Structure 1
Amino acid sequence: MKSLTLASIVLVLGTGAAFAQDVVRMGTEGAYPPYNFINDNGEIDGFERELGDELCARAELTCEWVTNDWDSIIPNLVSGNYDTIIAGMSITPERDEVIDFTQPYTQPDPSAVVGMIDGLDLAGAVIAAQTGTIQAGYVAQIGATLVEFSSPDETVAAVRNGEVDAVIADKEFLKPIVEEEADMMFVGEDILLGGGIGMGVRESDPELKATFDAAIQTMKDDGTLNALISKWLPASALF
């Protein structure tokens, strides 16, 4: 995530209007399957597309989808380019200082490390992660050498071409890569990071946050959220 000065955050949040609009713009990355991706028809697809459409229907909102690069996804929410972030974003104290989050719509999902060297010593390894992710912060914590990339596909490509020893990301993103590529393997145990995944909203939009909180809760209560998680994220814990 690009850094924001405190002054710029205060300026944007101070001028934000209360939630009262005809169309809610749903911001996502469109590059992190199975959470969100662009399908063969050029449309946003995945777990969060299906979830977001259902939430909007339950809340009786007209929603449209917008894609944005991950490294500027929070600043562009704050500046008003869209109204929510629904992009596999883990709830962390650092992010919560800048934006608000709904209640989580997934439990904390396992992160994993994938490389091409069996028995790789992670503490002494060079590990790729996407910029601004909780996984990037974890690499720094364990003392490994971090190399950041702007997109998830670039992190995997860096392993393939020998630029780094391994990549760390959500296990659901990495699993198909390991299954399809014989040279790729999981290294070490799964890692639990963050407080689950939620929708990001501006701090000046408490009504929108409350609206989506209520819709998420109805999906938890009637089991439809667990059904979506089982469909798209079968290894994830259910509510």
Structure 2
Amino acid sequence: MFTGLIEEVGTVLSVKRNSLEIACKEIQDDLSIGDSVAVNGVCLTVTAFSTRFFKAEVMPVTLGATNLGLLKPGSSVNLERAMMLGSRLGGHLVAGHIDSTAVILGKEDIGEALLVSIGIPKGCDPLIIRKGSVAIDGISLTVAEIEMERFTVSLVGHSRRSTTLARRNVGDLVNIECDQMGKYVQNILLKTNGDNTVLQDKQNHGVMSFGYLMEQGFTT
């Protein structure tokens, strides 16, 4: 698991069918073979490393399903080591499993903030909510606005200076991972039976349904 707080922007040295080689300076402090590193939000396994770079295993299906397949030598990528239990969770829980890719539709400077608008991928619209969390190329961000078929995030301070998103152009493809908690809730609610019941224990202590959630104040 990751937090979506980018530790370093690395530079791609080589892209091969089954591996990436990425130059970096800061994340090797406690790196070991077999560790997980999120590269643009994609969880990859470290196969080799030195004080100047690391290599990660990447499957062809991953290259095709994420923007890692568009990388080339010189590309910049967001890097984050797996989180440690017991440390502060400054972003949100990010699994490193990309739900879809999406296109940057617009960028606008407003004061110190950079607003970035991104198309909502098919199937992700129920999981992207105003003021909810979303990981874009591995960056934990808050959804500022939703309109039509796009959502907007605001980059300020550290997230603007220390990640790749501010450098990306309109038309570029970014990796999207929707909020993990939202996906679990969606999965439960989709498994309703005919009477709209989702979950009921053997002792009939409780029933979870759309109606029950609304009664408890879980409304949009």
Q: TM-score, normalised by structure 2?
A: 0.24
Instruction: Tell me which structure has the larger Cα radius of gyration.
Output: 2
Q: Which has the higher contact order (CA 8 A, sep 6+)?
A: 1
Q: When you count strand as a share of all residues, which structure comes out higher?
A: 2
